[in-house]
Chains A and B, each alone.
Chain A
Amino acid sequence: MSTSKTYWKNIADLKSNPELDPNRHNEFVEHIPVDEFLGDKGTLENSQTSRRDFLKYVGFSTAAATLAACEGPVIKSIPYVVQPESIVPGIANYYATSIANGYDFASVLVKTREGRPILINNNKLDQSGVGANARVNASVLDLYDSQRLKAPQISGTPTSWVTFNSEIGQKLNDLTAQLKPIVLLTQTFASPSTTALVNEFLSKFPSAKHLTYDTISQSAALDAFEQRYGKRAMADYDFSKALLIVSIGADFLGDWQGGGFDGGYSKSRMPQNGMMSRHVQFESNMSLTGANADKRIPLKPAQQKQVLAALYAKLKGTSVQTNLSESVLSTVNQTAKSLQKSGSNAVVVTGLDDVDAQALVLEINTLLGSKAFNPNAPLLVRSGSNAAMTELVKEMNSGLIGAVIMAGVNPSYTLPNATEFNDALAKVDLTVSFSLKADETAANVKYLAAAPHYLESWGDVERKAGHFGLIQPAIRPLFDTLQFQDALLAWMGSAVTYYSYLKTYWTENVLNGSEWNQALHDGCFTNETTSTAQEQTLDLSNSVAALASAQDQGMALILYPKIGMGDGQQANNPWLQEFPDPLTRVTWDNYLTMAISDAKELGLFMETDGTDATGGLNGRYAEITVNGKTLKAPVIIQPGQAKGTVGLSFGYGRSAGVKEELQTGVNAYPLYDGFNATQTVTVKAVEGKHEFACVQLHNTLMGRGDIIKETTLEVFNTKSAKEWNAMTMVSLNHVETPVDSPDVDLWDEFDRSIGHHFNLSVDLNACTGCGACVIACHAENNVPVVGKEEIRRSRDMHWLRIDRYYSSEDTFGGDDERKDNISGLSDSLSVFGKMELPSENPQVAFQPIMCQHCNHAPCETVCPVAATSHSKQGQNHMAYNRCVGTRYCANNCPYKVRRFNWFLYNNNDQFDYHMNDDLGRMVINPDVTVRSRGVMEKCSMCIQMTQKTILDAKRDGRVVKTDEFQTACSSACNNGALVFGDINEKTNQIVAKKNDERAYYLLDHIGTKPNVMYQVKVRNTKEV
């Protein structure tokens, strides 16, 4: 092209102008007299800018430039380019979804703020009544786990899903062509759509098969049920319908058969119309269930089997030969009599990993016609088979298997023969694992698929036949993840997403004409068919004989899941690591639980309570051997542990996909031989001292019966409340005066009946000590995690704790009596010393303690800067930014509920938990201040929630609805133990609680007038 184009800037440029041309390249047309100016000293001196001015300017510009270079911390907050319609900053959105991680199954309501899920609530629309336990409450933090896989990996190298899926799809086709078996090894999804999808997959790849694997096996219960009813499921139990509960080794308030039985249990435990259930527990470990029992008989596992056989025989009117002791036999006889009397109001359950025992229990419940027993709508939350799993490893080892595709399982950690499995896995052509983290199994597979968290996934679940739940994402996937179901579809060459597959499946098979959107909104859907399970009549005589002749060889080890850790998949969750075990109250650890007499015999007992000068609990180490496998574990003395047994929990000793600080405890899975929780074990003392992080160092109540008031059902029914819940009297001029009388009040009372006045009631009968509220409180209130060292130094930060006491005598009543009968100084010296030690098989009591929000708060008067003060609504406030940190308030708190920020717990590398990284901080509730170091904090009675409720009502122009006020703990409580509300609104449940005869105030003799009340614990001690 021609380049003759000329460019001009103005007309003068275009039309040549002789006047302008010479100046064209001069920037300054007029002459600037630089040389003249600088050359002439005289003008320079007279000029306006003196040397000093010059220096000033230089100084200023240097300073300005320096300051401009200093950048404050930039916190990026990016506004929405397009504001989503449903997201209003500052307003929470709620989505109903379900958790189904293979271990925990629950219908939940997720609270999201600005698109971030921050809290798990119970889904109140779900009528099947399974609430979120502590682990489910904590599961929101797993979403923000910094250890999560961020993209799929092939042989450890990040890759794209396209490559990942096409490689696997290719391999699957090759393997199918070679007729090599493909194994889908998955968790129990209990998902109808996934089952359908897997079936499609199996038909597409005919050499494939599907295997489910439950890390903690319920195979015995499933087998027994399958034999009897022809369906691989587990019978459901509704304990609210039982008046007599007999449990033989079943920790049904824990994770027995998938858990979720505590809501019904608690209902039956609240005395109503003079009735409450009676609970008899035969067990080895002190379980949460045993701790709540009215009568607890510690027995070795073989003896439990014999008890079951004897019980059955007694019910049948036959006899069976056992070698149980006289006292146990008489208890068994008594129990059998009570069972017969109670008939359909009774229920028997067992947790023994023994098909015979499970079959017998099904028979007994059928025999009783138990109302609590429901085989018609059985539980589907476990489906694994021990035999199939054992077989698989064998096949893999022989090199027969072409592909193992795993989802939601971590066999390299959880299998007892994990090393064998790992070796066998090396012989498989195609190994795939879907996992949230680079866990133990991830290291042994070639294809590592980054799986989404359940809050980022679609799905469905049928926890119980006919009871469905939907899983919907509450946030866009944070990382480049793909869920298992979507991958299956991709491999099958299907173009549909799992979401549309799911929707179609539901419309066609589940919804029965109902609206999908409604089901999605509710998160649950019930389509119960009232079919009665077809029953097989089985001959149980062999079972009875086998059980009756069961023998223990030496010491028995009972493996169990801890309330806070379950099967260990949430081990990288700092909330759960710091969650105190309801019984031992130890955090950050698992341990061998042992009876004191055994410990003394084996040289495992530590003198002086096993504590050191800081009060921290210490323990000795034991080496335990099961079938040639040896483990070194610390020993803790567990009152109530059956002699000749030890307990060890699963879920600890993780080594991969878990931050170093959170790699705590020892792995018990290698001892889980044959998927049997009961093992024969030899225990040997070894050198060393273990340092525990225990939040409660004193175990007994010291005869202080006014802290946990309790009575028996008999007394409760027959005597007036004055006898079992007497008003506290104080002396006024030597006249006994009730402590709530204005005459003994130091202050003038003002009218509290106007406006809202919040009270919280804690029912000691309904509370099982499960700790869901503890985690809910943690999540709602941004309570920091402080780590093992700080916990050991008694610096736990829990705003809500559940105190656990053991009786020193056989019962707490015995303690009180013993203390009251002390006479003289020397007697008191020796008796108080003895009362510090729990009994070998103690009564147990749980007491949730949070700030009592005293109307006359001792903390408020002593703060020099008035940082803590009382509200008109009964809440005791804490103004964090006013607090100077004298800790006087904590010292003067009789309940010791105040927690001090000894260090900066957030954003501090010394405390490298979730608050130390940007991802983990996404869980923080923006409505609650994150406390800095040096300030006191404590339960606020969720003031951000009560204020929200008030504002909602105000915005809507209505009055606050009945029972609309909630706190995090009260809404997390599945058991009805925590009831919160406004006492000035007479229709609220809390008013009834306040007026209940069982209501009492903790330490009211101090005159603190708390706004938290407790309901007297009633024990049903009388045989039916």
Chain B
Amino acid sequence: MASHYEAPIRRPLVTGEKSYHDVTVDVARPVEGKANKQWWIVFSIALTAFMWGVGCIIYTIGTGVGVWGLNKTVGWAWDITNFVWWVGIGHAGTLISAVLLLFRQKWRMAINRSAEAMTIFSVIQAGLFPIIHMGRPWLAYWVLPIPNQFGSLWVNFNSPLLWDVFAISTYLSVSLVFWWTGLLPDFAMIRDRAVKPFQKKIYSLLSFGWSGRAKDWQRFEEVSLVLAGLATPLVLSVHTIVSFDFATSVIPGWHTTIFPPYFVAGAIFSGFAMVNTLLIIMRKVCNLEDYITVQHIELMNIVIMITGSIVGVAYITELFIAWYSGVEYEQYAFLNRATGPYAWAYWCMMSCNVFSPQFMWFKRLRTSIMFSFFISIIVNIGMWFERFVIIVTSLHRDYLPSSWTMFSPTFVDIGIFIGTIGFFFVLFLLYARTFPVIAQAEVKTILKSSGQRYKRLRESGESLVGAGSVDAVTADKAKKKSKK
């Protein structure tokens, strides 16, 4: 992707007079530098939460799933809610890195690395739940179609839960490969800059011997494109399959054909919100404001607004169809959602997911960093409640009123959820200190077309030759100073 000409009307994607070397230094800085106090504080909190979660998981596996708040009527609650929530969050990463790559959206370059890291880390959290929610998690491998000596026993290919196994594992592996491929030149960059032998050794291992030859770059481009092509259907398929867990059932409130698009939209919605949450912090902490600009945040806010509205339409469609179907069980399920004992959860979901993103119609609000951060948190809360509402309120009052009951989480339910948040942040914080958090090789490719400095030079008719060198930039800066 050579430096194409870009219209001056387009705002620069890389601000702050960056030279190629500046990009390298900026990206390598967190990796080469020492962690500051804040990092350690946040890391300790995350680690504590993670350890608490591990404790709760050990307690669950040691004693029985009975330590959760589930019962005979509500067989899934926080476990699958958390599962769907984390899978949903994962979607933004793939969408940004794969779909936007195919659509040649260059603004993705600043955020795709972290978004995809978020994908992988959140899919790891998601993957935990289907395993630990089992009554006998030590037999979890039975859901894999592996040749066995149990007789002629094989998995049940009719079961959406089995499709989940395939969907999630495919998703995790493709995302991981895609992410790592992108990381290779950046790891190589760190390797080449490393002075400590140990560090050099590690990064040369991680970079798979990247040499920077033209052939390397050519293959890199090809593989990226192929993987983007593979990952794109996954954006749609994974959450579609997750939604099948519910859609193929016979429970009113679950048995809904609208679920696949509704779930995918919701996933992208929550994923972008999480990207916003993470990157707004990260750009500040790692001094990456020049790469992750307000423009990036604004674009993501627009996606949040659109997907939020799609989700809103889905909610209303569900209500309409319940009424229109004339099926009394369906009607009651939705009436009960909105007015029953869990109405608070429903309205929490409605206000967080449907009403709150509508503020993004206002440019002032969607370009406000604090407000974006606030909304991103709200959306994540709302999307958690969406899954809770779908799962718990449908189950707790289904066909036979004699089985109707309530669900209330125990400290273990809560502990495991907090634990996964802790685990997620442990991974993300480690990532932020050891990985190149911005795809610097890719950003460098757009520096000439979308970098602020080059744009300015091009507009003023100056030559771009050698403009990116360290000397030129230093000279330029000196010139500016003297002008002042």
The answer to whether the Cβ of B361 comes within 8 Å of any Cβ in the partner chain is no
Q: Check if A902 sits within 8 Å of B76, measured CB to CB.
A: no
**Min C-beta distance of A639 to chain B, whole Å:** 15
Q: Check if A888 sits within 8 Å of B250, measured CB to CB.
A: no
Which residues of chain A come closer than 8 Å to B55, judged between CB atoms?
Answer: none
Residues 348 to 396 of chain B near chain A (Cβ within 8 Å): 395
The answer to whether the Cβ of B167 comes within 8 Å of any Cβ in the partner chain is no
Stretch at the interface among A237-245, A268-276, A861-869: A861-869
Tell me the interface secondary structure of chain A in the complex. Answer: loop
- For the complex, give the distance between the alpha carbons of A573 and B59 in Å: 31
**Min C-beta distance of A876 to chain B, whole Å:** 14
The winner among B75, B143, B162 for most chain A CB atoms within 10 A is: B75
**Min C-beta distance of B150 to chain A, whole Å:** 8
Residues 390 to 405 of chain B near chain A (Cβ within 8 Å): 395, 397-405
Which residues of chain A come closer than 8 Å to B248, judged between CB atoms?
Answer: 861-862
Q: A894-B398, A899-B72 are in contact. Are A934 and B134 (CB under 8 A)?
A: yes
Which residues of chain A come closer than 8 Å to B401, judged between CB atoms?
Answer: 698, 700-702, 704, 707, 805
The answer to whether the Cβ of B453 comes within 8 Å of any Cβ in the partner chain is no
**Min C-beta distance of B102 to chain A, whole Å:** 33
Stretch at the interface among B29-37, B63-71, B259-267: B63-71
- For the complex, give the distance between the alpha carbons of A896 and B395 in Å: 10
- For the complex, give the distance between the alpha carbons of A829 and B338 in Å: 10
The answer to whether the Cβ of A796 comes within 8 Å of any Cβ in the partner chain is yes
Q: Out of A829, A862, A866, which one reaches B155, CB within 8 Å?
A: A866
- For the complex, give the distance between the alpha carbons of A904 and B153 in Å: 26
Which residues of chain B come closer than 8 Å to A444, judged between CB atoms?
Answer: none
- For the complex, give the distance between the alpha carbons of A790 and B154 in Å: 34
Q: Check if A887 sits within 8 Å of B64, measured CB to CB.
A: no
- For the complex, give the distance between the alpha carbons of A22 and B397 in Å: 98
Q: Out of A803, A884, A888, which one reaches B136, CB within 8 Å?
A: A884
Q: A863-B156, A885-B135 are in contact. Are A795 and B402 (CB under 8 A)?
A: no
Residues 425 to 467 of chain B near chain A (Cβ within 8 Å): none
1/0 per position for A250-272, CB-CB distance to B under 8 A? 00000000000000000000000
Q: Check if B71 sits within 8 Å of A793, measured CB to CB.
A: yes
- For the complex, give the distance between the alpha carbons of A934 and B249 in Å: 22
Nearest residue, chain B, Cβ from A615: B406
The answer to whether the Cβ of B7 comes within 8 Å of any Cβ in the partner chain is no
Which residues of chain A come closer than 8 Å to B154, judged between CB atoms?
Answer: 866
Which residues of chain A come closer than 8 Å to B404, judged between CB atoms?
Answer: 697-698
Q: Check if A884 sits within 8 Å of B400, measured CB to CB.
A: no
The answer to whether the Cβ of A901 comes within 8 Å of any Cβ in the partner chain is yes
Q: Check if A884 sits within 8 Å of B70, measured CB to CB.
A: no
Nearest residue, chain A, Cβ from B65: A902
Q: A862-B159, A904-B64 are in contact. Are A883 and B400 (CB under 8 A)?
A: no
The answer to whether the Cβ of B339 comes within 8 Å of any Cβ in the partner chain is yes
Q: Out of B130, B251, B399, which one reaches A891, CB within 8 Å?
A: B251
The answer to whether the Cβ of B332 comes within 8 Å of any Cβ in the partner chain is yes
- For the complex, give the distance between the alpha carbons of A935 and B136 in Å: 7
The answer to whether the Cβ of A614 comes within 8 Å of any Cβ in the partner chain is yes
Q: Check if A1003 sits within 8 Å of B399, measured CB to CB.
A: yes
- For the complex, give the distance between the alpha carbons of A1008 and B332 in Å: 21
Q: Check if B76 sits within 8 Å of A887, measured CB to CB.
A: yes
Q: How many A-B residue pairs have CB under 8 A?
A: 182
Q: Check if B155 sits within 8 Å of A696, measured CB to CB.
A: no
Q: Check if A887 sits within 8 Å of B408, measured CB to CB.
A: no
Nearest residue, chain A, Cβ from B323: A825
1/0 per position for B124-145, CB-CB distance to A under 8 A? 0000001001111101101100
Q: A883-B136, A891-B251 are in contact. Are A794 and B159 (CB under 8 A)?
A: no
The answer to whether the Cβ of A169 comes within 8 Å of any Cβ in the partner chain is no
Q: Check if B400 sits within 8 Å of A849, measured CB to CB.
A: yes
Q: A882-B142, A886-B134 are in contact. Are A864 and B159 (CB under 8 A)?
A: yes
**Min C-beta distance of B66 to chain A, whole Å:** 3
Which residues of chain B come closer than 8 Å to A948, judged between CB atoms?
Answer: none
The answer to whether the Cβ of B158 comes within 8 Å of any Cβ in the partner chain is yes
The answer to whether the Cβ of B73 comes within 8 Å of any Cβ in the partner chain is yes
Q: Out of A701, A832, A900, which one reaches B135, CB within 8 Å?
A: A900
- For the complex, give the distance between the alpha carbons of A804 and B403 in Å: 11
Residues 598 to 628 of chain A near chain B (Cβ within 8 Å): 611-615
Q: Check if A864 sits within 8 Å of B143, measured CB to CB.
A: yes
Which residues of chain A come closer than 8 Å to B139, judged between CB atoms?
Answer: 884
**Min C-beta distance of B452 to chain A, whole Å:** 53
- For the complex, give the distance between the alpha carbons of A795 and B71 in Å: 5
Q: Check if A611 sits within 8 Å of B66, measured CB to CB.
A: no
Which residues of chain A come closer than 8 Å to B161, judged between CB atoms?
Answer: 862-864, 886, 888
Q: Check if B249 sits within 8 Å of A613, measured CB to CB.
A: no
Nearest residue, chain B, Cβ from A616: B406
Q: Check if A794 sits within 8 Å of B405, measured CB to CB.
A: yes
- For the complex, give the distance between the alpha carbons of A93 and B65 in Å: 39
Q: Check if B249 sits within 8 Å of A903, measured CB to CB.
A: no
- For the complex, give the distance between the alpha carbons of A421 and B309 in Å: 78
- For the complex, give the distance between the alpha carbons of A858 and B142 in Å: 21
- For the complex, give the distance between the alpha carbons of A700 and B401 in Å: 7
- For the complex, give the distance between the alpha carbons of A614 and B72 in Å: 12
Q: A698-B401, A885-B135, A891-B251 are in contact. Are A865 and B72 (CB under 8 A)?
A: no
The answer to whether the Cβ of B328 comes within 8 Å of any Cβ in the partner chain is yes
Q: Check if A903 sits within 8 Å of B402, measured CB to CB.
A: no
Q: A698-B404, A885-B134 are in contact. Are A864 and B165 (CB under 8 A)?
A: yes
1/0 per position for A844-869, CB-CB distance to B under 8 A? 00010100000000100111111000
Q: Besides A866-B153, A900-B135, 5 other CB < 8 A contacts?
A: A696-B403, A698-B401, A887-B75, A900-B65, A900-B70
A–B complex contacts, Cβ < 8 Å, 13 sampled: A614-B69, A615-B405, A697-B406, A793-B69, A801-B402, A804-B402, A805-B401, A832-B335, A891-B75, A891-B249, A896-B399, A900-B70, A934-B135
